[in-house]
Chain A
Amino acid sequence: MQSMILQSALNHLLEAHQIDIRPLDGKTVYFSLQDLPIAVNFICTNDRIFVTTDATINADVDIKLKSNVFLKLIQGEDLTELLRQDKIMIHGDVKTAQLLVDLLQQVEFDFEEALSKFTGDIVAHQVGKIAKKFKSSDNSLASIKDKITNFLITPKRFH
């Protein structure tokens, strides 16, 4: 259910902002949380993103991290900085990972709430509070667009 909602939210984002995800076409990015039983594939194909929990598909990029690091990342913490601090493990192309993270950082989806289904509300809330401290101040939609443009996912209307 959560993956279906995230999928809808992501694709709504792509349509609403006319984001061209061709640079991600044909790529599957696998996100797994080391401390929670959560693992999700983002399959980017046919101009859209499918979010699935099926483990049979081979991913191009494999990202492993803890749930608190995931929330920091989603709330704007820099991927390369987290990599440098060894808080995140990436097998595969980091640029592809960055492209997907850019999208996840903007999507209208309450990750904290989704995680709370697994951790219990209180823990997730605490994790979320910590994450908020790290939320970068330049996380506005305008700067997100700039960031996206930097990472090849260019809004179609700017073409």
Chain B
Amino acid sequence: MENTTHFGFKDVATQDKQGMVRSVFDSVANKYDLMNDVLSFGAHRLWKHYTIATSNVKAGDKVLDIAGGTGDLARAFAMKVGDTGQVVLSDINAAMLGEGRKNLINRGVPGVAFVQLSGEQIPFSDNTFDCVSIAFGLRNVTDKDQCIGEMYRVLKPGGCLLILEFSKTDIALLEKFYDFYSFNVMPQLGKIIANDEESYQYLAESIRKHPDQETLKQMVLDAGFGTCEYHNLSGGIVALHKGIKV
């Protein structure tokens, strides 16, 4: 089929995917943080902590978080860049961005700008940011190469790209457990806690359709990054790809 893409395990018209992803996140927005903690047993906090630690972001830097949702990374980056730096929390989805804004304001985090945008068309000039991050967002983007290309464009020379995303584990036993958990437990928990089985079924499926570590690394290099390395976390269930614009 031409002009189709995947939405979880389904093939859908390319132009429809963005709207379908939007409905998923409209639906999960107000329970997103709770579900994240429950579904990952809190591990997402450690994965994000590792991402921040490896970012090499320092005081005075400009950081853009794409698909930033409820603002976990933006909050941590804001602490690192301090008063002299700037963090932009962005997301395509108004409901998720609204939750992010609420979270950051409630926690008294200053100096963060909120921008609704798609990672496929970033409305900032070339060479603007010292670091651009996207956590658990890339698999939802329709044209991933376009998104990585845009992140490359807005990074300064020497800037750092961070992609935190579910990936492929090569530990057979872990894979079995993970498959069972994703397709049986996750949607059921989604039903019980968020009254939304379908969205969590999509989230589980979209993880399986996402490129594996080596494929994603090649995509980052193809976008122009001079170097890209990845670190597997939790046995490869999650991987952090780090590209540098050199």
Partner of B227, one of A11, A15, A46, A57: A57
Give the complex CA separation of A86 and B85 in angstroms: 47
Which residue of the partner chain, among B54, B159, B227, contacts A54 with CB atoms under 8 Å?
B227
Interfacial chain A residues near B59, Cβ < 8 Å:
15
Contact A45 B229 (CB under 8 A): no
The answer, yes or no, to whether B58 is at the interface (CB within 8 Å) is: yes
CB neighbours of B159 from chain A (8 A): 46
Picked from A1, A11, A45, the residue with its CB within 8 Å of the CB of B244 is A45
Residue A52 contacts which of B50, B53, B229 (CB distance < 8 angstroms)?
Answer: B229
Q: Considering the chains assembled together, what is the distance between the CA atoms of A30 and B101 in angstroms?
A: 43
Give the interface size class of chain A. Answer: 20 to 34
Q: Closest CB-CB distance, B160 to chain A, in whole Å?
A: 7
Query: At the interface, yes or no: B98 with Cβ under 8 Å from chain A?
Result: no
B residues within 8 A CB of A48? 56, 58, 158
What CA separation (Å) do A56 and B221 show in the bound complex? Answer: 9
**Closest CB in chain A relative to B130 CB, distance in Å:** 6
Answer yes or no: A4 CB below 8 A from chain B CBs: yes
Check A46 against B156 for contact (C-beta < 8 Å).
yes
Q: A1's closest neighbor in chain B, by CB?
A: B231
Question: How many residues on the B side are at the interface (Cβ–Cβ under 8 A)?
Answer: 21
> Shortest distance in angstroms between A37's beta carbon and chain B's nearest beta carbon?
15
Q: Is A28 an interface residue (CB 8 A)?
A: yes
Q: Kindly provide the distance from the CB of B126 to the nearest chain A CB, expressed in whole angstroms.
A: 15
Please, what's the 1-or-0 string for B223-246, where 1 marks a CB less than 8 Å from any CB in chain A?
Answer: 000111101000000000010101
Q: Is B157 an interface residue (CB 8 A)?
A: yes
Contacts of B58 in A (CB 8 A): 11, 15, 48
CA distance A25 to B227 in the complex (A): 16
Shortest Cβ distance from B113 into chain A, in angstroms? 21
Interchain CB contact under 8 A, A41 and B158: no
- Shortest C-beta distance, A109 to chain B (Å), equals 15
Known: A4-B53, A15-B58, A56-B221. Contact between A28 and B228, CB under 8 A? no
Please give, as numbers and ranges, the residues of chain B lying within 8 Å of A11 by CB-CB distance: 56, 58
A53 to B242: give the CA distance in the assembly, Å.
11
The A9-31 residues at the B interface (CB cut-off 8 A) are 11, 15, 26, 28
Interface centre among B50, B130, B244 (most CB of A within 10 A): B244
A54 close to B229 (CB less than 8 A) = yes
CA distance A1 to B233 in the complex (A): 10
A128→B130 CA distance, assembly (Å): 38
Q: A43 an interface residue at 8 Å Cβ cutoff?
A: yes
Question: Measured between alpha carbons, how far is A153 from B208 in the docked complex, in Å?
Answer: 48
Is A50 within 8 A of B53, CB to CB?
no
> Please, which residue of chain B has its CB at the minimum distance from the CB of A8?
B53
The answer on a CB contact under 8 Å between A50 and B228 is no
Q: How far is the CA of A136 from the CA of B160 in the complex (A)?
A: 37
Question: In the bound complex, how far is the Cα of B244 from the Cα of A41, in angstroms?
Answer: 12
Q: Which 9 A-B pairs have the closest CB atoms?
A: A46-B158, A45-B158, A54-B229, A57-B227, A54-B227, A4-B54, A52-B229, A48-B56, A57-B226
Q: Chain B: residues with CB nearer than 8 A to chain A?
A: 50, 53-54, 56, 58-59, 130, 156-160, 221, 226-229, 231, 242, 244, 246
Q: 12 A–B contact pairs at CB < 8 A?
A: A1-B231, A4-B53, A7-B56, A11-B58, A28-B246, A41-B227, A45-B157, A46-B157, A47-B158, A48-B58, A54-B229, A56-B228
Interface positions of A (Cβ within 8 A of B): 1, 4, 7-8, 11, 15, 26, 28, 41, 43, 45-48, 50, 52-54, 56-57
